[in-house]
Structure 1
């Protein structure tokens, strides 16, 4: 359970004050624990959320502050069955934190997702977790990351080992300071001679990469001339270096929360703002590509539905990322769906509708609070958008635009379902409709030939989750039947045959 510690969502004055970040990692990497620790570091009294199958299968969002910066943090599911939720998180965010377990290393799913982010140039950093387990080695994990992710991977901090051979802090490569959490709160001091030697082994490559990737020629010339650069000069180029998507700092953290403050500092000072949004394909409703407008709160509205939830009592609630302009309650927006036009893939059909925006809410921690307005870069929950589906575009009726939807995987595992009783049959159609609204990777089909109702899913875990949702959330008892295949025979060429008819039932019988 969580604790309410505020009565309002954080106020955002400018897109420059925002950071939108998604945590990406395989199941068991420590990603959700990191998500909870980051919230606890900024939300006093937060006690965490229950890790049930429903929580681990959806894109979770929390908002916290670091000084004057507002951070929207997403926890994307690690199970490959829920890749649809993960790709929605990648669309909502401007940067990604890849979480790698020092105990388990990098799996194939993480490599594939890294390559997806690399293909669009998304800024990425790496967090190494589970360093307090047996067989865990920070240096070996960094080396593996460099082998898999490329030469742009460099540690930003090194683990600091305390008296009992436990990680109690970290060494900053830039400031040459030691951050110590052993007292229960974070303190710092200057590194001693031995610690400085460990820092210098990695510092040169780290600083050179920041300056090179930031393309600051003046600073690079001073560095190679032997000038001692101030820490703030290098930190000031960190955001530029990360923006190009080829420099990736590595931050060590532990399950107990050591390293969370340093990680929040990297997010604040290094990750890009929504002002540097890398736009996907944007087109008119006729399909003609157009350039993205300069990001401004005064620009025409351009937003996208990231995910949709459906409550039996409250109706639809849409998570919306505002890419440009300003979204206000009671304003009229144009809702455009073009998944079939762009990809011809799975999902709702193309549609165009005008809708009036309902109540806006945004989280502080994980609790939602009403919000007066949402500016470019913000992510809010919008009530009562009756026709809006996941990946639909919201635009100004005077400047109609559509954003190319993200690619959805095709569901490959079907299950044949039917209502367990007549009472359940009356509720099944509405419940299935809500399932499709909430999860864009689900596909419903009436099988030709057998007339079985097929629910197509991404895998066994996804299938089990949907079956439980039907029963627990919507009160529909269903029965899963074996899938029947309709027998079909095809005539491919003319044929002749000779047969005899013989029947003996008394008398003369029959013969032909």
Structure 2
């Protein structure tokens, strides 16, 4: 049976951290003859994980691209990061893939780690197969793992093979369509063997189960089963192929990337069952006729080549030197790991890198887009912040430009210049995510950058009002300075902000000087008696006096500051801390742990409910002080197998009292003294 397409197809390798995706890529490349020797992740010799940041951590930190030919079929494999912190890259790669290989370990308690990926695949109708890796372990529990995975998938999981065993060790498999048995041979193709009598019963039961699942989508097959007829093998193959391409079922395979077990069986599945680029293009909404079209799924600012836009061609042909979106690329390349090979042209299905398309961003369409195509993964929400600054003062402008490039590469990064604290804050998906970003600044842009926990934007307000007199008088020869005012300072309701009013009568303070009084008050409120910006205060100018020669705008502004400086400490100032509305999403088994996290961080639990559209997940709603949020995602993931997450927004300011408030004020005084 021939492959589905002579055009290049794309398969994304996805799965949780440490599931063995990069090792599987090496096995696929070896089995297809694309490499002569497998590389090693631990030794830094793999095709994937080629960046310094990935090799330093022995983990994927970005999508790696490799091409292969297998039985005359052309493939591009996208080895995607397993860490949830780099999932944006994974989602963007899946958006241009024909299918995904979901790599998991044979441990049912770890199955939940793949839940966000399966949800994304199901919601976006991306055909996918599951490869249960590392079955060389004698502790491998395939059936229990499959049952656990089924609770996470909206689609039926279809075992395509059953294991052959010698004691507890898995030594081969039986293909449930052809009903042929194969024994593993390390580093070589599996060997066809006689189907053992001991495996016959399990094989028949599993095959019947597979056929019944397929019959849910084929009336003719259902009629054959009801009539106790054995369907022809070719018909079963066609059913598997059609239902996978239509994203109706999820075939499940198993093997060992370390030992090269089950790799060629996986390649044959890809060859026969993965949809063609034309089928994927139609599913994505692209029309078959029209000019050349490609979509950028990855952007890299490389040290030597400059900006590279990685794109998949959906229609037509791109040629070297031709205009693309009004710009002539500096080069057209085929990527293989960290190596780029120059191309003269690229057609449908191919993945290419175009150099120096400065105006093009990740997710954008190259060529003439169809007006009805809009779907693209949205940037992941901000979860973990770090205030960053260049170690050398003269690098600050360079830092801003370099950070903008990193954000362009990875939309799940973002930068803010905090108006409240003045800090430059880099946001990402977790601690490692931001560490990698800082390493890229050093390795690619020669920028030494330090990061630290951002300041909390505390505010302060007052509990009672006072009346105060402010007088500024100075005589220094010639014109002097004179400003004299009386003000009332009063608290406002929470959230009302600052209000200035005046009840001056009789011209005791000339009208032209009243705005200067307001300006002086506002200037003082930038830093109140506790050291924080003051909010929710009303100041009323009630009276005063002036000098016809020595009074000025500056004199009345200074008098206002004097009055505020004298009066505010008498108003019982109090610290206000920002409170965020937080929604924590976790599998229901971890709901109680999420509630304990909230309680341990001075939070107020508002309730919880089932997460809409997610089987077996809850959302816990709470109010949490912003001061307790900085490493929330780190603790949450450590207690939920890495899958817990949250969304947040500012809700209100809340008075702070006791030793906590005293500590905040003391730390603020120390920080101000050090400036």
TM-score norm. by structure 2 comes to 0.62
Matched, 1:161 2:157: no
- Alpha-carbon distance between aligned partners in 2 of 1:280 and 1:234, rounded to the nearest angstrom: 24
Any gaps of 5 or more consecutive residues in structure 1?
1-12, 282-290, 335-353, 499-512
- Alpha-carbon distance between aligned partners in 2 of 1:226 and 1:280, rounded to the nearest angstrom: 36
Across the aligned residues of Structure 1 and Structure 2, the Cα RMSD in angstroms comes to: 2.9
Matched, 1:462 2:433: yes
Shift of 1:106: 4.0
- Alpha-carbon distance between aligned partners in 2 of 1:275 and 1:450, rounded to the nearest angstrom: 52
Matched, 1:359 2:331: yes
- Alpha-carbon distance between aligned partners in 2 of 1:203 and 1:19, rounded to the nearest angstrom: 29
CA spacing shift, 1:368–1:442, aligned 2, 3 Å:
same
CA spacing shift, 1:428–1:157, aligned 2, 3 Å:
same
Match of 1:324 in 2: 315
Matched, 1:180 2:183: yes
Residues 105-504 of structure 1 mapped to structure 2, 5 A cutoff: 105-149=109-153, 152-162=156-166, 165-182=168-185, 185=188, 186-213=190-217, 215=218, 217-254=219-256, 255-277=258-280, 292-294=286-288, 299-334=290-325, 354-363=326-335, 367-396=339-368, 403-422=374-393, 424-425=395-396, 427-484=398-455, 485=457, 487-491=532-536
Shift of 1:419: 1.6
CA spacing shift, 1:396–1:246, aligned 2, 3 Å:
closer
Is this contact kept in 1: 2:161–2:175, CA < 8 A? yes
- Alpha-carbon distance between aligned partners in 2 of 1:371 and 1:426, rounded to the nearest angstrom: 36
Is this contact kept in 1: 2:162–2:206, CA < 8 A? no
Is this contact kept in 2: 1:389–1:437, CA < 8 A? yes
Greater CA drift, 109-118 or 84-93: 109-118
CA spacing shift, 1:494–1:452, aligned 2, 3 Å:
closer
Give the secondary-structure state (helix, strand or coil) at the position aligned to 1:149: coil
Shift of 1:206: 1.0
Shift of 1:231: 1.9
Give the secondary-structure state (helix, strand or coil) at the position aligned to 1:333: coil
Is this contact kept in 1: 2:65–2:336, CA < 8 A? no
- Alpha-carbon distance between aligned partners in 1 of 2:108 and 2:11, rounded to the nearest angstrom: 24
Match of 1:41 in 2: 31
- Deviations along 1:346-405, one digit per CA (max 9) or x if unpaired, are xxxxxxxx22244322246774323332222221111221221111111239x7786443
Give the secondary-structure state (helix, strand or coil) at the position aligned to 1:450: coil
Count of paired positions: 451
CA spacing shift, 1:301–1:105, aligned 2, 3 Å:
farther
Match of 1:25 in 2: 15
CA spacing shift, 1:364–1:434, aligned 2, 3 Å:
closer
Shift of 1:107: 4.5
Shift of 1:278: 5.9
Shift of 1:223: 4.4
- Alpha-carbon distance between aligned partners in 2 of 1:184 and 1:369, rounded to the nearest angstrom: 29
Structure exhibiting the larger radius of gyration computed from Cα positions = 2
Shift of 1:44: 3.5
Match of 1:287 in 2: none
- Alpha-carbon distance between aligned partners in 2 of 1:332 and 1:14, rounded to the nearest angstrom: 32
Give the secondary-structure state (helix, strand or coil) at the position aligned to 1:229: coil
Find the partner of 1:58 among 51, 56, 62: 62
Give the secondary-structure state (helix, strand or coil) at the position aligned to 2:140: coil
Give the secondary-structure state (helix, strand or coil) at the position aligned to 1:432: helix
- Alpha-carbon distance between aligned partners in 1 of 2:537 and 2:339, rounded to the nearest angstrom: 64
Match of 1:77 in 2: 81
Shift of 1:476: 1.1
- Deviations along 1:168-200, one digit per CA (max 9) or x if unpaired, are 321111111111223753221341332322210
Give the secondary-structure state (helix, strand or coil) at the position aligned to 2:185: coil
- Alpha-carbon distance between aligned partners in 1 of 2:155 and 2:374, rounded to the nearest angstrom: 33
Give the secondary-structure state (helix, strand or coil) at the position aligned to 1:198: helix
Is this contact kept in 2: 1:424–1:478, CA < 8 A? no
Shift of 1:218: 3.7
Is this contact kept in 2: 1:211–1:241, CA < 8 A? no
CA spacing shift, 1:46–1:427, aligned 2, 3 Å:
farther
Shift of 1:97: 1.7
TM-score norm. by structure 1 comes to 0.80
- Deviations along 1:185-232, one digit per CA (max 9) or x if unpaired, are 32213413323222102001212323443x3x4444344433333322
Any gaps of 5 or more consecutive residues in structure 2?
459-531, 544-675
- Alpha-carbon distance between aligned partners in 2 of 1:36 and 1:274, rounded to the nearest angstrom: 24
Shift of 1:84: 1.0
CA spacing shift, 1:407–1:426, aligned 2, 3 Å:
closer
If asked which structure has higher relative contact order (CA below 8 Å, sep 6+), I would say 1
Give the secondary-structure state (helix, strand or coil) at the position aligned to 2:18: coil
